[in-house]
A and B are shown apart, each in its own frame.
Chain A
Amino acid sequence: MNRAMGFVAGVALMLGASNVQAADISAGEAMYAQACAQCHGRTGRGMASFPSVSGQDAEYIEARLIQYREGEQVGPNSALMIPVAADLSDENITDLSAFIAKTFQ
């Protein structure tokens, strides 16, 4: 579960800006509606204890999702995010991050 940080950083770089253009925004939108909006809100501004995801670039969102997928604790809601991210593929993360970054400015 705890892979080397170097590997994580490497994946994050591979998923970086060059991949955003290839992302499937509509696939990301569908995933967001199904798995994210219930906590982060339909407009990404967060609700109650759940933080806003607006105003972030795709690289930031990707890096966080990869950390959660790897089981890293990042903030007080990690217990909720880790299982959500556990089954995401690289493609899922790219699509989702691109949708969030593009839509929630």
Chain B
Amino acid sequence: MSSKIVNWPLGAVMASVLSVGLPAAAFASEHTPNLSYETVLSGLSDPWDMAFMPDGTMFFTQKCDGLSVLLPDGEVNNLLGMTGSDGYASTADDLFCEGQAGMMGVALDPEFDDNRFLYVYSTSSMAAPGTNRLMRFTVSDDLTAVSDRTDLIEDVPYKPEASDQPFGGPGAHNGGRVRFGPDGYLYLTTGDIHGAEVPQSPTLLGGKVIRIDRDGNAAEGNNAPEGFDPRIYTYGHRNVQGIAFHPETGQPITAEHGPWHSDEITALVPGGNGGWDPRPNMAGRGDCPDGYCGYEPVQMEAMDPAERAEYMPMTDFETYPDAMPPAWDNNGLSQGMSSAAFLTGDQWGAWNGRMVVGLMGIGFGGTPVGQRIDIIDMAEDGLSVHDVTEMPLPMGSGRFRSLVQGPDGNLYAAIDEGDIYRIIPE
């Protein structure tokens, strides 16, 4: 299936540019592209992430099913199943899904051609009461199987029991994005599992951005405070599902899901604190439902998001004056900010170098649902944004879970509804 919708009279613009003799590069740098789309895959079950080989071969995860690969000829090989899934070349029975938890991020090694290493993050029952694991596999040369499972990180916390919170079922807030940075290290984003102590804990790996090498060792220069697990790169996060790297500075930038207010885009610094601390009986708060203040002061009813932010800030500068400041807070709203990527290449015209962020959409307490992709012009220092604009989607909107720029320069978008789209700039 393919659809092409022209948003601007490109031909007319092109003609006028040519008539005054400007080079094509000037045109490309000053105009936003027209977008069309193709549906790459449909009928999936909660697709969560994608990772590409240079020839366009696309590995993808489905939260409750497992890991598969789409070959350039359109064939799909199902590689690694989970408990309850069928039709996979192999199955890891300890991997399971529950609520937001399951098989999430996937990444290929920068030296994949040589080592065939693939990394995937999933919930596992191997250690009670369940944990999230970052695993490394070797992909067979013919792309039909994975083997040599090595669990690089075994103990990212998992929420095993329901609690008295919105979305309070088991499996909440696992983070889940896995990406290699331009520094050659592997980054894993995690979540707070509705656990008040988790984000600021020096040892629990939830609510963190973790940076390791391909064998699971802490990266040099993580700079976590004394007494912290050396694998921790940044801490004090709520639920980070997006991380991307500035194409010029290489700085990691996260997209994080806020608590009824303030989704955040934050440029990370080694050892930095995101400033999220939902513990009770501190920062002016008293007791909270089931010991977690993350949605307070009224977690089940509407309230002005600014008033919420005052009481339970996403970044608490009063308690943590040195916390990393968000570059943008989605105008104080929480609408399910998830994945992030940078658009690069002249085909993106004026959007070359801009960051894109997917919002899954959550309508609560008068906040518009807001399913969309935003295009963000980050300041070079990562401390603010010059501009945020909504992408004029060539297809319908959806719960944008994953955004990845493919090797063809197009933007690939996975939505929870079960589709993976290729968004093509022209």
Contacts and interface: CB of A to CB of B under 8 A. Distances in A.
Given A38-B371, A47-B399, A76 B416 contact: no
Interface string A77-88: 111101110000
Interface stretch (B32-40, B75-83, B161-169): B161-169
B300 interface: yes
- From DSSP, what is the main secondary structure of chain B's interface residues? loop
B100 A79 contact: no
Contacts of A38: 361, 363, 369, 371, 399
23 contacts: A42-B417, A47-B46, A47-B399, A47-B417, A48-B99, A48-B100, A48-B399, A48-B416, A49-B172, A73-B300, A76-B162, A76-B166, A76-B167, A76-B168, A77-B166, A77-B167, A79-B166, A79-B300, A79-B364, A83-B302, A83-B365, A83-B366, A84-B363
Contacts of A16: none
Interface in A76-104: 76-80, 82-84
- Chain B contact-residue range equals 20 to 34
Interface of B: 46, 99-100, 162, 165-169, 172, 299-302, 360-366, 369, 371, 399, 416-418
A42 B46 CA distance: 13
Interface residues of A, number: 15
Given A38-B363, A78-B300, A48 B46 contact: yes
A83 B371 contact: no
Contacts of B169: 49, 76
Interface of A: 38, 41-42, 47-49, 73, 76-80, 82-84
Given A42-B417, A47-B416, A79-B300, 16 more contacts: A38-B361, A38-B369, A38-B399, A41-B418, A48-B100, A48-B416, A49-B99, A76-B162, A76-B166, A76-B168, A77-B166, A77-B167, A78-B300, A79-B166, A79-B299, A80-B363
Nearest to B166: A79
B301 A79 contact: yes
Nearest to B336: A48
A78 B300 CA distance: 7
A79 B296 CA distance: 13
Contacts of A83: 302, 364-366
Contacts of B366: 83
Contacts of A76: 162, 165-169
B286 to A, nearest CB: 20
A28 B167 CA distance: 26
